[in-house]
Amino acid sequence: MADTKDAAVMRRPPPLDSVLLYTLLTLLGFGLVMVYSASAFVAVHEVGYSTYYLWHDAVNTAISIITLVVVVRIPTVVWRRMSPYLLMGGLAALVLVLIPHVGVRVNGSARWLSLGVINIQPSEFLKLFLVLYLAGYLVRRQDRLSEFTHGILTVATLLMVTGVLLLLEPDMGSEVILWAVAFGMLFVGGVRLSHFLAVVLSAAGAGVLLILASRYREDRVIGFLHPFARAKGDGYQLVQSLMAFGRGGWFGRGLGLSIQKLYYLPASHTDFLFAIIAEEFGLAGVLFVIGLFAILVVRAFQIAEAARRDGDLYSCYVAQGVAILIGLEAIINMGVDMGVLPTKGLALPLLSYGGSSTLMSCTALGLLLRIDRERKAQGASR
């Protein structure tokens, strides 16, 4: 069936999903504008000219779009066959970043590998590789997911291995995303609810112990719970972010007129770009961004459901995994910036400055576009 499906795509490729594509391009374009707005002042003082981060982000965006175009041309059956090797490669890369003089250490964290002119963050790609692998796992174990060993334990063991590697970097944000995406996929895949809840509660308990075991993490949580009491310490970044939201009001101060980006709010063009959007465009800008991500997630689940109806469970699970991944990263980043969640160090997909994040997101959405194209081609060939 896969060969027939791929042949139909090659004969006359159906058009790409316009809703998904235009939403993606809108986010990328708006991201370029906002990265420039948020970084221009900092760039002038760091390197002497305002467009430093803009040009780097534009190059990252161009590479990501080219990658998306390539991914759209690769049949999903290829990704299915390669998924175990991609996952093993991702795990190997996590080991490499921990090796002195191989991994690149920034601000005390070893999360990057240098590829000459660029650095990549392996944990970003591991998220997508995990989605691809788990989709195949769910298909292979479909009849045994109700068993604890085949439904939950095997995946939990894999996550514990990745968790140890991520803790050594350290990268708690990526670890939270990996666990959440994996168990989100297991839940929609049909594991027993009692098994699901047991492991989720155990993971939550382990998370609390990890926080209590580290003075740094404990201080971060206290700073989140009482930011204004620690406004000059652990709560500083959150207080400055909340001030950005407060200044924005209904319609914002206007593009380029943020005050918080003038060295008041750290990481204003990366992790806290959403706060700058809120300050410059107000509640209207916040709702605009939330609406775009909602469109992406809803469309991804619609593509997943269409694949399920066509009997393509692998594509269905991949689409669901991508929806959960993109949606969770957006929700967590926005929640952190608004003070709803503790600081995690996660970029806002497709908007924040960061080549690895943008490349991973475009690759994931390229997979969605490919799945939708194969579904349309299969329907046209009937």
The structural domain count of the chain equals: 1
Question: CA-CA distance, 298 to 300, in Å (whole number)?
Answer: 5
| Residue 7 confidence (pLDDT) | 52
Residue 40, token pair as written in the block: 């221009």
- Domain span including residue 223: 2-380
Asked if the model's pLDDT at residue 155 lies above 90, the reply is no
Amino acid of residue 87: L
Q: Which has more confidence, 252 or 167?
A: 252
Mean pLDDT (the chain, rounded): 88
Count of alpha carbons within 13 angstroms of residue 147, beta-carbon side: 8
DSSP state letter for 341: S
Give the residue from 141, 159, 160 showing the smallest Cα distance to 151.
141
Instruction: Note the pLDDT tens digit of each residue in 166-214.
Output: 888 888 888 889 999 998 998 888 888 887 788 778 878 877 887 777 7
Instruction: Note the pLDDT tens digit of each residue in 109-129.
Output: 778 787 766 778 999 999 999
Mapping DSSP to helix (H, G, I), strand (E, B) and coil, where does residue 105 land?
A: strand
Instruction: Note the pLDDT tens digit of each residue in 315-325.
Output: 999 999 999 99
Give the residue from 114, 111, 108 showing the smallest Cα distance to 98.
111
Mapping DSSP to helix (H, G, I), strand (E, B) and coil, where does residue 99 land?
A: coil
Q: Which has more confidence, 213 or 8?
A: 213
H or E element that contains 118: strand 118-120
Distance of CA 242 to the CA centre of its chain: 23
| Residue 120 confidence (pLDDT) | 85
The per-residue b/e assignment along 149-168, b for 16 or more CB within 10 angstroms, e otherwise, is ebbbeebbebbeebbebbee
On whether the CB atoms of residues 3 and 375 are closer than 8 A, the answer is: no
Instruction: Note the pLDDT tens digit of each residue in 39-61.
Output: 999 999 999 899 999 999 999 99
Give the residue from 42, 16, 46, 56 showing the smallest Cα distance to 358.
56
